[in-house]
Amino acid sequence: MSGAPQLSRGWKTRGWKKRYSLWLLVSLLHYHSAAWAVDDAMPSNPTQETTATSAGPTTTGRVARAMFTTAIVDREPVDAIQTLTTDTSRVFFFSDLRGLAGQIVTHRWIYNDQDMAEVTFKVGDGARWRVYSSKNLLPDWTGTWTVVVSDETGQVLNSSHFEYLPAAPASN
């Protein structure tokens, strides 16, 4: 096949993690980096606030809302989920940031005490900045997933969890 592109032997022998990382990078670029940040001046909802309580350097910023969702529409989550089954393979994590103008904020996706992805955001100049990241899940990755939101100093601003459960068997 002279017209077909040939993959190098190195590509074929690399592990699945490197191929998956490349696929994830291409997917993120395809979905406009799977991360949007939007400056908006809307009041916060104090009943949904989450702030850091750890000792050490403090940040003036906070996460006003943080949630897992099945989709983002108009820069807002369509639902808030705490469990997801393997018949859904993509999940989003949304966070509404306050007082973090000009800083770098990170979403770190953790499964089985292993970092599975890290997405960083440069927060703009607004008082409110909404960002989200997404993760494509394999059916074998059932269990507890965590996303840790941290500022540029590494201070944890929020930690949220969801359960990825096996889908119910199809009934005949």
SS3 readout for 121-158: EECCCCCEEEEEEEEECCCCCCEEEEEEEECCCCCEEE
CATH of the domain at 55: 2.60.40.1930
pLDDT digits (tens, 9 = 90+) for 33-83: 334 443 333 333 333 333 333 444 455 799 999 999 999 999 999 999 999
Residue 81's alpha-carbon distances to 25, 69, 91, 116, in angstroms, are: 25, 6, 9, 20
* Residue 156 CB-density burial (10 A; 0-12 exposed, 13-18 middle, 19+ buried): middle
Q: In this structure, how many other beta carbons lie within 10 angstroms of the beta carbon of residue 32?
A: 8
Q: How many domains are contained in the chain?
A: 1
Residue 28 belongs to some domain of the structure: no
Cβ 111 vs Cβ 19: under 8 Å: no
Task: Give the whole-angstrom CA distance, residue 104 versus residue 156.
Answer: 13
| Domain membership of residue 99 as a residue range | 35-165
Residue 149 belongs to some domain of the structure: yes
Residue 153's alpha-carbon distances to 3, 13, 115, 169, in angstroms, are: 51, 38, 18, 45
pLDDT-based confidence at residue 15 (cuts at 50, 70, 90):
low
pLDDT at 169: 84
pLDDT digits (tens, 9 = 90+) for 72-112: 999 999 999 999 999 999 999 999 999 999 999 999 999 99
Residue 6 belongs to some domain of the structure: no
